[in-house]
Amino acid sequence: MGSNTVRLRASACVLATVLLAVLLVPLAVPLDEQAVDLAAKLHPPSWAHPFGTDEVGRDLLLRCVYGLRLSLLVGVVAALTATVLGTAAGVLAGVLGGWTDRALMRLVDLFSSVPHLLLGIFVVAMFRPGIWPVIASVVVTHWLSTARIVRAELLSLRTRPYVDAAVSGGASRLRVTVRHLLPGVLPQAALAAVLMIPHAIWHESALSFLGLGLPTHEASLGNMVNGARGSLLAGDWWPTLFPGLFIVVPTLAVAALAGAWRERLDPRRRSELTL
Protein backbone atom coordinates (compact mmCIF):
# COMPACT_ATOMS: atom_id res chain seq x y z
CA MET A 1 0.00 0.00 0.00
CA GLY A 2 1.67 3.19 -1.19
CA SER A 3 1.66 6.47 0.65
CA ASN A 4 -0.89 7.68 -1.91
CA THR A 5 -3.42 5.08 -0.87
CA VAL A 6 -2.87 5.93 2.78
CA ARG A 7 -3.50 9.57 2.05
CA LEU A 8 -6.66 8.84 0.08
CA ARG A 9 -8.03 6.60 2.84
CA ALA A 10 -7.20 9.17 5.50
CA SER A 11 -8.91 11.87 3.45
CA ALA A 12 -12.01 9.73 2.99
CA CYS A 13 -12.13 9.04 6.76
CA VAL A 14 -11.77 12.76 7.56
CA LEU A 15 -14.57 13.69 5.19
CA ALA A 16 -16.85 10.92 6.46
CA THR A 17 -16.27 12.04 10.07
CA VAL A 18 -16.90 15.67 9.16
CA LEU A 19 -20.14 14.87 7.33
CA LEU A 20 -21.41 12.61 10.12
CA ALA A 21 -20.55 15.19 12.78
CA VAL A 22 -22.17 18.01 10.85
CA LEU A 23 -25.35 15.98 10.24
CA LEU A 24 -25.73 14.14 13.55
CA VAL A 25 -24.33 16.37 16.29
CA PRO A 26 -26.96 19.12 15.85
CA LEU A 27 -29.65 16.42 16.29
CA ALA A 28 -28.14 15.34 19.60
CA VAL A 29 -26.97 18.64 21.10
CA PRO A 30 -28.82 21.85 20.21
CA LEU A 31 -26.70 24.99 20.20
CA ASP A 32 -29.22 26.82 22.45
CA GLU A 33 -28.24 24.61 25.36
CA GLN A 34 -24.89 26.32 25.12
CA ALA A 35 -25.88 28.92 27.67
CA VAL A 36 -23.39 31.66 28.39
CA ASP A 37 -21.36 30.59 31.44
CA LEU A 38 -19.02 33.38 32.47
CA ALA A 39 -17.55 31.24 35.25
CA ALA A 40 -16.16 28.90 32.58
CA LYS A 41 -14.85 31.53 30.16
CA LEU A 42 -11.61 30.93 28.24
CA HIS A 43 -10.78 27.55 29.76
CA PRO A 44 -7.88 25.95 27.91
CA PRO A 45 -8.47 22.54 26.24
CA SER A 46 -9.35 19.86 28.79
CA TRP A 47 -11.24 16.53 28.93
CA ALA A 48 -14.53 18.31 29.54
CA HIS A 49 -13.93 20.77 26.70
CA PRO A 50 -11.45 19.19 24.21
CA PHE A 51 -11.07 22.50 22.33
CA GLY A 52 -11.48 24.74 25.39
CA THR A 53 -14.15 27.42 25.86
CA ASP A 54 -14.60 30.85 24.27
CA GLU A 55 -14.75 34.31 25.84
CA VAL A 56 -18.26 33.74 27.24
CA GLY A 57 -17.70 30.15 28.36
CA ARG A 58 -19.24 28.23 25.43
CA ASP A 59 -17.76 24.89 24.35
CA LEU A 60 -15.57 25.50 21.27
CA LEU A 61 -15.82 21.98 19.83
CA LEU A 62 -19.59 22.25 19.58
CA ARG A 63 -19.41 25.76 18.14
CA CYS A 64 -16.81 24.61 15.57
CA VAL A 65 -19.11 21.78 14.43
CA TYR A 66 -22.02 24.21 14.10
CA GLY A 67 -19.74 26.73 12.37
CA LEU A 68 -18.56 24.16 9.84
CA ARG A 69 -22.19 23.16 9.27
CA LEU A 70 -23.17 26.72 8.44
CA SER A 71 -20.06 27.31 6.30
CA LEU A 72 -20.65 24.01 4.49
CA LEU A 73 -24.27 24.94 3.84
CA VAL A 74 -23.26 28.30 2.38
CA GLY A 75 -20.42 26.65 0.43
CA VAL A 76 -22.59 23.89 -1.08
CA VAL A 77 -25.46 26.21 -2.07
CA ALA A 78 -23.02 28.74 -3.57
CA ALA A 79 -20.94 26.11 -5.38
CA LEU A 80 -24.02 24.41 -6.87
CA THR A 81 -25.49 27.73 -8.05
CA ALA A 82 -22.16 28.84 -9.51
CA THR A 83 -21.74 25.48 -11.27
CA VAL A 84 -25.22 25.61 -12.83
CA LEU A 85 -24.59 29.18 -13.97
CA GLY A 86 -21.07 28.42 -15.25
CA THR A 87 -22.16 25.25 -17.05
CA ALA A 88 -25.08 27.07 -18.70
CA ALA A 89 -22.76 29.87 -19.85
CA GLY A 90 -20.11 27.42 -21.07
CA VAL A 91 -22.63 25.26 -22.98
CA LEU A 92 -24.31 28.31 -24.54
CA ALA A 93 -20.95 29.71 -25.64
CA GLY A 94 -19.71 26.37 -26.95
CA VAL A 95 -22.89 25.34 -28.79
CA LEU A 96 -24.02 28.65 -30.26
CA GLY A 97 -20.51 29.92 -31.03
CA GLY A 98 -19.97 33.10 -32.99
CA TRP A 99 -21.35 36.28 -31.50
CA THR A 100 -22.80 34.67 -28.32
CA ASP A 101 -19.51 32.91 -27.64
CA ARG A 102 -17.49 36.10 -27.98
CA ALA A 103 -19.87 38.13 -25.81
CA LEU A 104 -19.98 35.50 -23.04
CA MET A 105 -16.23 35.01 -22.98
CA ARG A 106 -15.63 38.77 -22.91
CA LEU A 107 -17.95 38.89 -19.89
CA VAL A 108 -15.92 36.12 -18.22
CA ASP A 109 -12.70 38.05 -18.92
CA LEU A 110 -14.25 41.21 -17.53
CA PHE A 111 -15.26 39.54 -14.26
CA SER A 112 -11.84 37.87 -13.98
CA SER A 113 -10.04 41.20 -14.19
CA VAL A 114 -11.42 42.31 -10.81
CA PRO A 115 -9.69 40.48 -7.93
CA HIS A 116 -12.14 37.88 -6.57
CA LEU A 117 -12.19 38.82 -2.92
CA LEU A 118 -12.47 42.52 -3.79
CA LEU A 119 -15.47 41.94 -6.06
CA GLY A 120 -16.97 39.79 -3.31
CA ILE A 121 -16.38 42.52 -0.73
CA PHE A 122 -18.00 45.09 -3.02
CA VAL A 123 -21.13 42.99 -3.60
CA VAL A 124 -21.48 42.18 0.11
CA ALA A 125 -20.89 45.79 1.17
CA MET A 126 -23.70 47.00 -1.06
CA PHE A 127 -26.29 44.33 -0.13
CA ARG A 128 -25.38 43.58 3.48
CA PRO A 129 -26.37 42.12 5.88
CA GLY A 130 -27.57 38.54 5.54
CA ILE A 131 -26.72 35.13 4.19
CA TRP A 132 -27.92 35.72 0.60
CA PRO A 133 -25.50 38.56 -0.21
CA VAL A 134 -22.66 36.26 0.91
CA ILE A 135 -23.88 33.44 -1.34
CA ALA A 136 -24.36 35.89 -4.23
CA SER A 137 -20.84 37.24 -3.74
CA VAL A 138 -19.39 33.71 -3.97
CA VAL A 139 -21.49 32.85 -7.03
CA VAL A 140 -20.50 36.05 -8.89
CA THR A 141 -16.80 35.27 -8.47
CA HIS A 142 -16.82 31.48 -8.89
CA TRP A 143 -18.86 30.70 -12.04
CA LEU A 144 -16.06 31.99 -14.30
CA SER A 145 -13.69 29.03 -14.14
CA THR A 146 -16.52 26.51 -14.64
CA ALA A 147 -17.70 28.41 -17.73
CA ARG A 148 -14.17 28.27 -19.18
CA ILE A 149 -13.68 24.55 -18.39
CA VAL A 150 -17.09 23.53 -19.78
CA ARG A 151 -16.65 25.56 -22.96
CA ALA A 152 -13.19 24.10 -23.64
CA GLU A 153 -14.44 20.55 -23.01
CA LEU A 154 -17.46 21.14 -25.27
CA LEU A 155 -15.33 22.46 -28.12
CA SER A 156 -13.16 19.35 -28.00
CA LEU A 157 -16.23 17.07 -27.84
CA ARG A 158 -17.79 18.77 -30.87
CA THR A 159 -15.06 17.44 -33.15
CA ARG A 160 -15.56 13.81 -32.11
CA PRO A 161 -16.86 11.36 -34.78
CA TYR A 162 -19.93 10.32 -32.76
CA VAL A 163 -21.14 13.92 -32.74
CA ASP A 164 -20.57 14.15 -36.50
CA ALA A 165 -22.52 10.92 -36.87
CA ALA A 166 -25.43 12.31 -34.88
CA VAL A 167 -25.44 15.52 -36.92
CA SER A 168 -25.36 13.69 -40.26
CA GLY A 169 -28.07 11.39 -38.94
CA GLY A 170 -30.31 14.45 -38.85
CA ALA A 171 -30.36 15.15 -35.11
CA SER A 172 -31.36 18.70 -34.23
CA ARG A 173 -28.90 21.02 -32.51
CA LEU A 174 -30.89 20.78 -29.27
CA ARG A 175 -30.89 17.00 -29.39
CA VAL A 176 -27.15 16.82 -30.09
CA THR A 177 -26.52 19.19 -27.16
CA VAL A 178 -28.74 17.41 -24.67
CA ARG A 179 -28.04 13.80 -25.68
CA HIS A 180 -24.40 13.91 -26.79
CA LEU A 181 -22.57 17.00 -25.58
CA LEU A 182 -24.02 17.66 -22.12
CA PRO A 183 -23.34 14.15 -20.73
CA GLY A 184 -19.74 14.56 -21.88
CA VAL A 185 -19.11 17.77 -19.98
CA LEU A 186 -20.97 16.86 -16.77
CA PRO A 187 -18.12 14.89 -15.14
CA GLN A 188 -15.76 17.88 -15.52
CA ALA A 189 -18.43 20.26 -14.22
CA ALA A 190 -19.09 17.99 -11.22
CA LEU A 191 -15.39 17.83 -10.39
CA ALA A 192 -15.18 21.61 -10.60
CA ALA A 193 -18.20 21.89 -8.30
CA VAL A 194 -16.64 19.66 -5.64
CA LEU A 195 -13.36 21.59 -5.77
CA MET A 196 -15.34 24.81 -5.51
CA ILE A 197 -16.90 23.94 -2.13
CA PRO A 198 -13.70 24.41 -0.06
CA HIS A 199 -12.96 27.55 -2.02
CA ALA A 200 -16.45 28.91 -1.32
CA ILE A 201 -15.99 28.16 2.38
CA TRP A 202 -12.65 29.99 2.27
CA HIS A 203 -14.36 32.97 0.63
CA GLU A 204 -17.26 33.01 3.11
CA SER A 205 -15.00 32.79 6.14
CA ALA A 206 -12.76 35.57 4.81
CA LEU A 207 -15.80 37.84 4.37
CA SER A 208 -17.13 36.91 7.82
CA PHE A 209 -13.72 37.52 9.36
CA LEU A 210 -13.67 41.02 7.84
CA GLY A 211 -17.04 41.62 9.49
CA LEU A 212 -18.79 41.73 6.11
CA GLY A 213 -20.12 38.18 5.88
CA LEU A 214 -22.70 36.32 7.89
CA PRO A 215 -24.38 38.22 10.75
CA THR A 216 -22.02 38.25 13.72
CA HIS A 217 -24.34 36.32 16.04
CA GLU A 218 -24.22 33.28 13.73
CA ALA A 219 -21.66 30.64 14.68
CA SER A 220 -19.67 30.60 11.43
CA LEU A 221 -15.98 29.73 11.33
CA GLY A 222 -14.96 33.19 10.08
CA ASN A 223 -17.11 34.92 12.72
CA MET A 224 -15.55 32.76 15.44
CA VAL A 225 -12.00 33.71 14.40
CA ASN A 226 -13.01 37.36 14.23
CA GLY A 227 -14.70 37.22 17.64
CA ALA A 228 -11.63 35.61 19.19
CA ARG A 229 -9.27 38.48 18.29
CA GLY A 230 -9.61 40.08 21.72
CA SER A 231 -8.76 36.91 23.61
CA LEU A 232 -5.89 36.19 21.19
CA LEU A 233 -4.28 39.51 22.11
CA ALA A 234 -4.60 38.44 25.76
CA GLY A 235 -2.63 35.29 24.90
CA ASP A 236 -5.41 32.69 24.57
CA TRP A 237 -4.72 30.83 21.34
CA TRP A 238 -7.36 28.07 21.28
CA PRO A 239 -10.41 30.12 20.18
CA THR A 240 -8.39 31.16 17.08
CA LEU A 241 -6.59 27.90 16.30
CA PHE A 242 -9.47 25.39 16.21
CA PRO A 243 -11.96 27.17 13.90
CA GLY A 244 -9.11 27.60 11.38
CA LEU A 245 -8.23 23.90 11.56
CA PHE A 246 -11.86 23.17 10.74
CA ILE A 247 -11.27 24.97 7.42
CA VAL A 248 -7.79 23.59 6.62
CA VAL A 249 -8.26 19.86 7.32
CA PRO A 250 -11.47 19.29 5.28
CA THR A 251 -10.00 21.41 2.45
CA LEU A 252 -6.92 19.18 2.25
CA ALA A 253 -9.10 16.06 2.33
CA VAL A 254 -11.31 17.30 -0.51
CA ALA A 255 -8.24 18.30 -2.55
CA ALA A 256 -6.65 14.87 -2.15
CA LEU A 257 -9.81 13.00 -3.18
CA ALA A 258 -10.54 15.38 -6.07
CA GLY A 259 -6.95 14.90 -7.30
CA ALA A 260 -7.51 11.16 -7.54
CA TRP A 261 -10.86 11.72 -9.26
CA ARG A 262 -9.26 14.05 -11.80
CA GLU A 263 -6.66 11.44 -12.57
CA ARG A 264 -9.41 8.93 -13.36
CA LEU A 265 -11.21 11.42 -15.60
CA ASP A 266 -8.05 12.28 -17.48
CA PRO A 267 -5.10 9.96 -16.79
CA ARG A 268 -2.80 11.97 -19.06
CA ARG A 269 -2.84 14.87 -16.69
CA ARG A 270 -0.45 14.56 -13.81
CA SER A 271 -2.26 14.19 -10.53
CA GLU A 272 -1.43 17.45 -8.84
CA LEU A 273 -3.59 18.44 -5.91
CA THR A 274 -4.76 21.83 -7.00
CA LEU A 275 -7.03 23.73 -4.70
Partner 1 sequence: MARMAGRRLLTAVPLLAVVTFGVFAIAAASPFDPARAYAGSAGLGAGRDVLDQLRENLGADRPFVVRWWEWLTAALGGDLGQSTSLRQPVAQVIGERIGWSVLLCGVAFLLAVCTGTALGVLAARRRGGLLDRTVTSLAYTLEAAPPFWLGLLAMWFFAIRLDALPAGGLTDTGADAVTAGQVASHLVLPALVLAATQLPWFVLYVRQGVGDALDEDPVRGARARGLRERTVLLRHALRSGLLPVLTLIGSRVPELITGALLVETVFSWPGIASATVQAATSVDFPLLAALTVLATAAVLLGNLLSDLLYGLADPRVGFDG
- Please give the residue ranges that form the binding site for partner 1 (CB under 8 A): 3, 110, 113-119, 121-128, 198, 202, 205-206, 209-212, 222, 225, 229, 232-233, 235, 237, 240-241, 243-244, 247-248, 251-252, 255, 272-273, 275
Q: Are 41 and 53 in contact (CB under 8 A)?
A: yes
Our measurement of the distance from residue 67's CA atom to the centroid of its chain's CA atoms, rounded to an integer in Å, reads: 14
Q: Please say which residue, 182 or 194, places its beta carbon nearer to partner 1.
A: 194
Indicate the residue among 165 and 275 with the shorter CB distance to partner 1: 275
Closest alpha carbon to 250 in 46, 67, 54, 109: 67
Nearest approach in angstroms of CB 135 to partner 1 is 15
**Which residue, 74 or 247, is less far from partner 1 as judged by CB?**
247
What is the crossing angle of helices 60-96 and 3-28, to 10°? Answer: 110
Cβ-in-10-Å burial (0-12, 13-18, 19+) of 117 comes to middle
Provide, rounded to whole angstroms, the least separation between the CB of residue 249 and partner 1: 8
Q: How far is the CB of 260 from partner 1 (least distance, A)?
A: 14
> E strands within the chain?
none
180 vs 199 by CB, closer to partner 1: 199
- Contact between 102 and 109 under an 8 Å Cβ cutoff? The reply is no
Shortest Cβ 68–partner 1 spacing (Å): 13
